[in-house]
Amino acid sequence: MIGALQKIESGQLGPTILRSIAHTDALNRVRRTLSTSPYNPELWMALALLQVQRDPHDPVVVEALKMAYFVAPNDARLMPVRIDMVAHFDPLALPDVKDLVRNDIRLILIRRSGSRSALVSAYRRASKLGKAFLEDAVESIDPSFLATLRG
């Protein structure tokens, strides 16, 4: 499953049909595993990441992302992935998602300064809406970091 996620993220699955088969297989495995391990935040993130590849507007993406937050709200390992995904694929239209991501950004800027590079990376990959959100969040928490974010 991890190998499939890495290939999906890097876009190295080859022909469309192979990508579709590997993607469907990975998605089915994650769903089966979640049915027996619903408190595993990595599985919820895997479901969100796999589903966003198929359809970024599918409600499953936001619900899986929310579950990853609810199961492990302060998991530092997941913060960069959650921020990147939200900034890149725009589930920012939902106020509760904005609040959850803003909390991740706050924790990184205030308590996990070693993870600030994750914000810069997310900013580089972000959509126009995602960049505006990241700029606003960073400016409200640590305005001195805004130049680094944009640089």
Closest CA to 119 of 101, 95, 97, 92: 101
- DSSP string for residues in 81-137: HHHHHHHHH-GGGSHHHHHHHHHHHHHHHHH-GGGHHHHHHHHHH--HHHHHHHHHH
Integer Cα distance of 63 and 77 in angstroms: 19
Instruction: Give 37-49 pLDDT, tens digit per residue.
Output: 999 999 999 999 8
Helix (H, G, I), strand (E, B) or coil at 56: coil
Integer Cα distance of 145 and 106 in angstroms: 12
Determine the pLDDT at residue 18. Answer: 41
Q: Taking the model in full, what pTM does it have?
A: 0.83
What kind and span of H or E run contains 62? helix 59-71
Geometric angle at alpha carbon 97, from 111 and 101, rounded to 5°: 20
Which tokens go with 98? Answer: 């904005």
Res. 100 pLDDT band, cuts 50 70 90: very high
Instruction: Give 50-59 pLDDT, tens digit per residue.
Output: 888 888 889 9
Q: Taking the domains of the chain in order of start, what are their residue ranges?
A: 1-72, 74-151
Q: Over pLDDT 70: what percentage of the chain?
A: 87
Integer Cα distance of 84 and 81 in angstroms: 5
